[in-house]
Amino acid sequence: MRARTATVKCNVNLTITVDGYSAGTDQTEDRPFGHDGGDGTGDRLHAWMFDTPEENRAEIEELAAPSAFIMGRNMFGPVRGDWDRPWNGWWGDDPPFHGPVFVLTHHAREPQPMRGGTTYHFVTDGIESALAQAREAAEGGDVGVLGGATTANQYLAAGLVDELRLHIVPFTLGAGTRLFDGVPPLRLEQLTSRAATGVTHVTYRVLP
């Protein structure tokens, strides 16, 4: 794996409740975020994106700014076990990534090209491999770890994250998948912190 440098970063970018959850329990196809305090579509978690996009333009653009992406299979979709039915992500034919997306999974699958430059690659040999592949594909650009918490926590625990971009929203869930769960203590540096309506955006540098 390439050395981490100031110019090529691995960023985690997540919306969390003030008690640290990025999704509720019991994810299904009808309820992609599980019991998320809203209708299961992440409507309350992501109200800041959908209700007030102008106010949060910079943070929304930052989400899509990396040149390659990593996500867990549960963020990718509701299929569990074998790939026993067609599933190409929640984001339609022309997903908002416009670049390579490395999906961590225990279930091998051929790469899935989409429109607009997105290709889903399925990685079965672990987080370091996914990051190495994403760095290679990013060709000098940043790598964005988009979630869910299970995936973000593995990268944090392994010391592979440069920056943590959190969007802290005003409710608690008390159950679900939680950022930092099982992650050893981290030293962080608060780089930026900005309030918008119903959300606080905080960026941390992860210190060695």
Ligand X SMILES: NC(=O)c1ccc[n+]([C@@H]2O[C@H](COP(=O)([O-])OP(=O)(O)OC[C@H]3O[C@@H](n4cnc5c(N)ncnc54)[C@H](OP(=O)(O)O)[C@@H]3O)[C@@H](O)[C@H]2O)c1
65 in Cβ contact with 114 (< 8 Å): no
Query: Whole-angstrom Cα distance, residue 22 to residue 41?
Result: 12
User: What is the C-alpha separation between 166 and 15, in angstroms, rounded?
Assistant: 6
Binding partner of 10, given a second copy, ligand X, none, CB within 5-8 angstroms per partner class? none
Query: Does the protein bind a second copy through residue 42 (CB under 8 A)?
Result: no
User: In this chain, which residue has its C-beta nearest to ligand X?
Assistant: 148
Amino acid of residue 72: G
Nearer CB in complex with ligand X: 35/98: 35
Binding site residues, ligand X, CB under 6 A: 14-15, 22-23, 27, 32-34, 45, 71-75, 80, 104-107, 126-127, 146-151, 154, 177
Q: How far is the CB of 140 from ligand X (least distance, A)?
A: 25
CA atoms within 13 A on the CB side of 92: 5
19 binds a second copy (CB under 8 A): yes
Residues facing residue 172 across a β-bridge: none
Query: Which residues does 73 contact at the CB level (< 8 Å), separation at least 6?
Result: 79, 103, 104, 105, 107
Binders of a second copy among residues 136 to 175 (CB under 8 A) are 166, 168, 170-174
Q: Which does 146 bind (CB under 5 to 8 A by kind): ligand X, a second copy, none?
A: ligand X
Judged by CB, which is closer to a second copy: 114, or 166? Answer: 166
Taking CB under 8 A as the rule, does residue 194 contact a second copy? yes
Q: Which two tokens stand for residue 54?
A: 């102008």
18 counts as binding a second copy under rule CB under 8 A: yes
Q: State the Cα–Cα distance between residues 176 and 22, nearest whole angstrom.
A: 7
